[in-house]
Amino acid sequence: MHVMAIVSEEKSAALDLLYARFNRAAESMGGKAYPRLDAIAFRSADIAIPQTEAVNALRVEMPGSFVVELAPDHPLSIGNVVSVRAVRTHAGGRKTDWTTTFEGGEWQVARVLLSNDEIQKCLTPEGPPARY
């Protein structure tokens, strides 16, 4: 098996684990998660011909017209780190985006392990506190 395929499989598995955590949190808070596929474009600096890659994404709908859209920042076949951005909207207005990365076999925010409490806070309009 090609090394790139192995890396992508590991990244896909990491995404599945993260999305499962968000799904459990959403259900416990009265929300619903919907998995989907998104097309993520490669940056023009990375490739000569424009193209996209299908990646797993997750839409979480919470009570009170609050929605969180989770998807990788870049295609899984490039780079060493998976970074997932949560685009948070409340009643159509965009709230602060939130990002987590998969490094060293763990999901982290600002190099600190991602907690279930932070996931739950991400699923609220107030959001988790900023980390630097």
pLDDT in tens, 71-127: 998 888 887 789 999 999 999 999 999 999 998 899 999 889 999 999 999 999 998
The whole domain housing 105 covers 3-122
Using one digit for the tens of pLDDT, what is the confidence trace for 6-29? 457 889 899 999 999 999 999 999
Residue 15 resides in a domain: yes
Q: Which residue has the higher pLDDT, 37 or 130?
A: 37
Determine, yes or no, domain membership for 130.
no
pLDDT band at 56 (very low <50, low <70, confident <90, very high): very high
pLDDT tens digit sequence for 59-86? 999 999 999 999 998 888 887 789 999 9
Q: What are the E-state strand segments in 26-92?
A: 32-41, 52-62, 66-72, 82-90
- Whether 98 is in a domain gets the answer yes
Q: Do residues 100 and 18 touch, judged by C-beta distance below 8 A?
A: yes
- Is pLDDT at 1 greater than 50 in this prediction? no
In a domain, 89, yes or no: yes
What is the number of structural domains in the chain?
A: 1
Could you tell me if residue 131 is inside a domain?
Answer: no
Q: How far apart are CA 26 and CA 119, in angstroms?
A: 9
* 127 found inside a domain: no
pTM flag (> 0.85): yes
Q: Across the strands, what pairs with 69? A: 59, 87
